[in-house]
Copies of this chain bind each other. A is one copy, B any other.
Amino acid sequence: MLRAGLVGVTGYTGMEISRILASHPSMRLTAATSRQDAGKRLDAVYPFLQGLPGADVTLIEPDARALAEVCDVVFLAVPHGVAMEMGADLYDAGVKVVDLSADFRLRDAEVYEAWYKPHTRREYLSHAVYGLPEIYGGQIRQARLVANPGCYPTASILGLYPALRGGIVRTDDIIIDAKSGTTGAGRKAVVSSLYCEVADSFRPYNIGGRHRHTPEIEQELSVAAGSAVTVSFNPHLLPISRGILATIYTKLNSALSQADVQAMYEDFWKDCPWVRVMPADRLPETRNVRGTMFCDIAVTVDQRTGRLIITSAIDNLCRGASGQAVANANLMFALPVETGLNFAPLVP
């Protein structure tokens, strides 16, 4: 049984890690940290865990050395900026690390600093592997430090990868209109995330190229295309807890039929059971992936305007964060990637 540590238990990604590990057959939560709740049992903070594996873990103050001694792998579920220090220290202490923050995702430190803040551990960037299992599975197996992808990038990259790799769409005319559930806003006590501020409403935020996931998406899509890709990324907040749906507008380079693109996508993803290409008459819904690792993708050719519209849905917490982190940990320890992660969607 692998011993997993969790730094930052009180956010939604930490909560989701603890949910997933409660039923993982080969990995067990053995240490968890929280500055505000140190000294409490995990199930005092998360009563839903009462009686489940991990519930009796006592929360401690974060300490890289102490964690490294009792863990085989540590998940970092803390904000960017905090993660870079802890991640580097844990790496040095010899424990494997999956970082759920943005700190090691961008290969170019300049880009990181332009969008986030000064990077104090630049030298570790080259050790990090971008943790998208379908794309980087081989490298993840060898990695000691995995930069877990962002939620919006996961949905966007999986949706666009075949089209850009296949060169069928323009690289300078891509719009991603993305909608995320409210767990994406985190578990911090802020008025804008209160039930009565979010329920029965819908709103855009950070549109027009201001969201920090933009460079991450462009980085990976440029790899796919083999040349620079620019995207207009525009997020919105949904009154749901879990789920991202990205509606992606692209311009076809040549006249392709629905059947052409459908076949291309089905072929590209045929060995990746978590990526489900929808039949031509079906579109994704966030509920169909709730609580799972699935990414549901549909391709719609709009002959009238020469566009390919890609719709892509994931569970932002599971596939877009903590489940993907556990998948990466599975790979890092030579377990089958799907170990402990084959959840059926909770519908309704």
Task: Give A residues with C-beta under 8 Å from B.
Answer: 12, 15, 19-20, 22-23, 46-52, 175, 177, 179, 181-183, 187, 189-191, 193-205, 207-209, 230, 232, 234, 236, 238-243, 245, 247, 249, 273, 276, 278, 282-291, 294, 296, 300-305, 307, 309, 311, 342-348
Contact = CB atoms under 8 A, between A and B. Distances in A.
B48 A177 contact: no
A190 B188 CA distance: 8
B199 A200 contact: yes
Given A182-B195, A195-B195, A239-B195, A177 B247 contact: yes
Nearest to A292: B48
A283 B238 contact: no
Given A12-B348, A195-B182, A291-B346, A285 B203 contact: yes
Contact of A309 (B183, B201, B234): B234
A181 to B, nearest CB: 8
A232 B307 contact: yes
Nearest to A18: B344
Contacts of A282: 47
Copies of this chain present:
4
A234 B207 contact: no
A209 B302 contact: yes
A305 B233 CA distance: 10
12 contacts: A15-B347, A23-B342, A46-B347, A48-B288, A182-B196, A195-B239, A203-B283, A209-B303, A209-B305, A232-B309, A242-B348, A291-B346
B200 A19 contact: no
A195 B184 CA distance: 11
A238 to B, nearest CB: 5
Q: Which 3 A-B pairs have the closest CB atoms?
A: A201-B287, A203-B285, A195-B198
Given A12-B196, A189-B191, A236-B245, 19 more contacts: A15-B347, A15-B348, A19-B346, A46-B347, A175-B249, A177-B249, A183-B196, A189-B190, A193-B194, A199-B200, A200-B241, A200-B243, A201-B286, A202-B286, A203-B283, A207-B311, A232-B307, A241-B348, A291-B346
A74 to B, nearest CB: 21
A287 B191 contact: no
B51 A273 contact: yes
A183 to B, nearest CB: 5
Given A207-B247, A232-B249, A290-B346, A196 B284 contact: no
Contacts of A12: 196, 348
Contacts of A175: 175, 249, 307
A232 B305 contact: yes
